[in-house]
């Protein structure tokens, strides 16, 4: 294989791999992890390896398409951009009537130019998260900021507690580091409802009822406090200990065990794991904060790590998603005059669009998102989207969102555009080299908006890509020019290897802040007793599944002792139903799952007979404006 180029992955994945593009004697290209990169270390995941198929898929949209009734008609870019300019000009007198929905399907600083464009217009924007906001807001409430140890510090841990993270599907490099830590003698405890495929990375496994992580952590804290107390050197760096301790002491170990569906002695075992000599590191999965009280789940796990002496020391720490652009300067995306803008929430976007008034949403621009498919309560979201007067979607495929648009603009994808990208796991910033030209008339998001802005009166002028790149590198975390980054391809930021060393936290008082609440769990709705977990796929990110790769009916997985199996005949059609809707599914058996769980691998499309999010009610987590996907309940039925 001959190296053609060096670039970086820009998928919404924590690993942000440094990639080599290789060409064989047959002229075919292949992606490989860069062996010289300190983090990528020569390997990458199936998601990035399979991306070349996405670029050349026969289902890719490569020309602007305008809807005429139920028919799509190819149009020129001149026609498409003039129509967009005409519509924006019409609605511009009430800029809040224009909604910009920006997702994270592609990472990179140049993709942030869309935020600047619509901020300059004063349009309505989206806030909240479909991913991880409850968890990172929880960390900010505890520590005063979002910081992790350098991920390689896991190698200094004597023990690692993995709270539900599916290592091989969510981050192959974290999986590799955990595997190496085990080879060096570290022991790993995995806590989850099962189904995460972590057997190769685990020494001990505790199966827990889904969503009960805060009660499990509270029980372990109670055992530690009653058995040995908490060291005064730790408590002097905290705020709210007395109130927090009062909450923990009120809990009955027996009740907590019942809530978690675990043996009482498991609390002792977890406490020992955290309290034994040598540091214990904690991995916190994004999944456990996708419940109604997801923020509390994270906060009680953080508190357990703190009171056991495992915060601020090498080999310890808690790890949650970082901000992928934390080492870059994005001040250039904010207009000099920052006027208040209306905000709609991603998790309740359908309801928010329908309820928007003074003015209502009359135009929407969607880029880097298939939100009709990805947001909860997809049926309502689709209805709200369809009700908008003029709808523009920038995408490369006819997704559930794109097919409901009035105008579909074909975009460039990864490997087809230059950019700079950071990671929400490691400390490197990468230059993204363009490897090939986009096919047909596909154009980058930046080009589309730059050309559109010129047609407006007054115009909306974006800074050039070079200006965006240079401004982004003017960061206190970096010391590198654009020319140097292009030549070196990546640079490590100056983030410290240990977060909150010496128990110095980032709240104004310098202290760690304990949570002050512990909420009970609401009962399941009558007739829908099983928890639906829409978990990550191995081969695709979010809904970036090629149409030709969809399987219908979609599969679900349950334990062999799942009570719902008594109510269905697997030789007949089986439906997964919630209080909202139902879809036909194929039931598979997966031993080791909690018997109250139904697993669905998320991201497939409604238009192809799939789409689990139509079963999930819209709502908000306890903090962060996040979608509580895993608080949905379902049943299995033949009718």
pLDDT digits (tens, 9 = 90+) for 199-249: 999 999 999 999 999 999 999 999 999 999 999 999 999 999 999 999 999
What are the backbone angles phi and psi of residue 495, rounded to the nearest 5°? Answer: -60, 140
- The proportion of the chain whose per-residue pLDDT surpasses 90, expressed as a percent, equals 98
Taking the C-alpha atoms of residue 410 and residue 439, their distance in angstroms, rounded to an integer, is 10
Mean pLDDT of 48-70: 95
Query: 3-class DSSP state for residue 343?
Result: strand
42-56 pLDDT per residue, tens: 999 999 988 999 999
Task: Tell me if 263 sits within 8 A of 347, measured CB to CB.
Answer: no
Beta bridge partners of 281: 160
451-488 pLDDT per residue, tens: 999 999 999 999 999 999 999 999 999 999 999 999 99
pLDDT at 413 over 80: yes
Query: Could you report how far apart the first and last alpha carbons of the chain are, in Å?
Result: 54
Give DSSP secondary structure letters for 59-97. T---S-EEEETTEEEE--HHHHHHHHHHHHHHHTTSGGG
Mean pLDDT of 299-310: 98
CB burial class (10 A; 0-12, 13-18, 19+) of residue 205? middle
| pLDDT band for position 336 (cuts 50, 70, 90) | confident
Report the mean per-residue pLDDT for the chain.
97
Nearest to 635, CA basis, from 589, 554, 581: 581
Taking the C-alpha atoms of residue 211 and residue 593, their distance in angstroms, rounded to an integer, is 14
Mean pLDDT of 128-146: 98
Task: Tell me if 325 sits within 8 A of 422, measured CB to CB.
Answer: yes
Query: 3-class DSSP state for residue 250?
Result: coil
Taking the C-alpha atoms of residue 558 and residue 564, their distance in angstroms, rounded to an integer, is 9
pLDDT at 516 over 80: yes
**Quick one: three-class SS letters along 178-218?**
HHHHHHCCCEEEEEECCCCCCHHHCCEEEECCCCCHHHHHH
- The proportion of the chain whose per-residue pLDDT surpasses 70, expressed as a percent, equals 100
Query: 3-class DSSP state for residue 152?
Result: helix
Query: 3-class DSSP state for residue 394?
Result: strand
Per-residue pLDDT at 338:
77
Its pTM stands at 0.97
Per-residue pLDDT at 339:
84
CB burial class (10 A; 0-12, 13-18, 19+) of residue 451? middle
pLDDT, greater one: 376 or 338:
376
What are the backbone angles phi and psi of residue 245, rounded to the nearest 5°? Answer: -65, -35
| Strands 18-23, 29-33: pairing kind | antiparallel
235-267 pLDDT per residue, tens: 999 999 999 999 999 999 999 999 999 999 999
Beta bridge partners of 100: 125, 365
Per-residue pLDDT at 1:
86
Residue 422, CA distances (Å) to 12, 31, 300, 317, 541 in order = 11, 19, 29, 22, 17
Per-residue pLDDT at 324:
97
| Strands 512-513, 530-535: pairing kind | unpaired
Per-residue pLDDT at 242:
98
Report the side by side order of strands in the sheet with 318-319: 204-207, 187-192, 159-163, 280-284, 318-319
Nearest to 410, CA basis, from 450, 375, 439: 439
Mean pLDDT of 93-117: 96
Per-residue pLDDT at 279:
98
pLDDT at 87 over 90: yes
| pLDDT band for position 337 (cuts 50, 70, 90) | confident
């Amino acid at each position: 294989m001959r190296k053609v180029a060096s670039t970086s992955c820009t998928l919404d994945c924590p690993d942000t791999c440094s990639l080599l593009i290789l060409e064989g004697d047959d002229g075919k290209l292949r992606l490989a992890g860069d062996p010289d990169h300190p983090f990528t270390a020569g390997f990458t995941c199936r998601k990035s390896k399979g991306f070349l198929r996405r670029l050349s898929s026969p289902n890719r949209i490569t020309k602007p398409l305008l809807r005429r009734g139920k028919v799509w008609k190819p149009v020129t870019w001149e026609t498409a951009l003039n129509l967009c300019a005409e519509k924006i000009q019409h609605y511009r007198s009430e800029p809040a009537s224009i909604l910009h929905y920006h997702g994270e399907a592609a990472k990179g600083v140049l993709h942030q130019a869309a935020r600047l464009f619509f901020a300059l217009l004063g349009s309505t924007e989206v806030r909240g998260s479909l991913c991880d906001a409850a968890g990172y807001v929880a960390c900010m409430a505890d520590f005063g900021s979002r910081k992790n140890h350098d991920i390689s510090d896991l190698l200094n841990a004597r023990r690692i507690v993995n709270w539900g993270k599916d290592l091989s599907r969510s981050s192959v490099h974290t999986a590799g580091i955990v595997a190496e830590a085990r080879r060096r003698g570290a022991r790993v405890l995995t806590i989850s409802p099962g189904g995460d495929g972590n057997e190769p990375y685990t020494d001990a496994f505790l199966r827990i009822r889904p969503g009960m992580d805060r009660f499990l952590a509270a029980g372990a804290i109670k055992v530690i406090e009653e058995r040995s107390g908490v060291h005064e050197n730790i408590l002097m760096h905290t705020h709210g200990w007395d109130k927090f301790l009062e909450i923990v002491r009120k809990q009955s170990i027996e009740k907590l065990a019942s809530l978690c569906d675990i043996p009482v002695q498991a609390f002792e075992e977890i406490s020992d794991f955290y309290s034994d000599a040598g540091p214990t590191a904690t991995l916190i999965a994004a999944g456990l904060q996708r419940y109604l009280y997801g923020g509390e789940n994270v906060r009680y796990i953080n508190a357990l790590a703190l009171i056991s002496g495992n915060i601020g020391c090498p080999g310890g720490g808690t790890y949650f998603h970082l901000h992928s652009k934390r080492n870059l300067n994005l001040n250039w995306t904010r207009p000099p005059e920052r006027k208040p803008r209306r905000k709609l929430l991603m998790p309740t976007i359908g309801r928010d669009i329908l309820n928007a008034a003074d003015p209502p949403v009359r135009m929407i621009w969607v880029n880097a998102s298939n939100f009709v498919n990805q947001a909860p309560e997809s049926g309502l979201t689709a209805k709200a989207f369809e009700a908008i007067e003029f709808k523009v979607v920038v995408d490369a495929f006819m997704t559930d969102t794109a097919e409901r648009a009035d105008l579909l603009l074909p975009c460039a994808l990864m490997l087809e555009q230059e950019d700079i990208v950071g990671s929400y796991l490691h400390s490197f910033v990468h230059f993204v080299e363009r490897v090939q030209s986009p096919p047909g008339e596909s154009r980058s998001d930046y080009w589309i908006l730059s050309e559109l802005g010129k047609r407006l009166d007054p115009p909306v002028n974006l800074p050039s890509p070079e200006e965006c790149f240079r401004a982004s590198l003017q960061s206190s975390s970096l010391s590198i020019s654009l020319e140097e980054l292009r030549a070196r391809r990546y640079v490590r930021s100056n983030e410290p290897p240990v977060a909150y060393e010496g128990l110095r936290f980032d709240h104004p008082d310098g202290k760690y802040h304990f949570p002050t609440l512990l909420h009970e769990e609401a009962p399941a709705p009558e007739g829908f007793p099983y928890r639906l977990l829409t978990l990550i796929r191995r081969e695709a990110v979010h809904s970036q599944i090629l149409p030709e790769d969809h399987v219908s009916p979609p599969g679900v997985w349950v334990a062999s002792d799942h009570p719902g199996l008594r109510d269905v005949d697997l030789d007949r059609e089986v439906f997964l139903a919630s209080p909202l809707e139902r879809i036909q599914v194929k039931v598979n058996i997966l031993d080791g799952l909690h018997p109250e769980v139904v697993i669905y691998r998320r991201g497939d499309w409604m238009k192809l007979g799939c789409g689990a999010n139509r079963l999930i009610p819209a709502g908000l987590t306890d903090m962060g404006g996040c979608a509580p996907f895993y608080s949905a309940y379902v049943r299995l039925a033949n009718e």
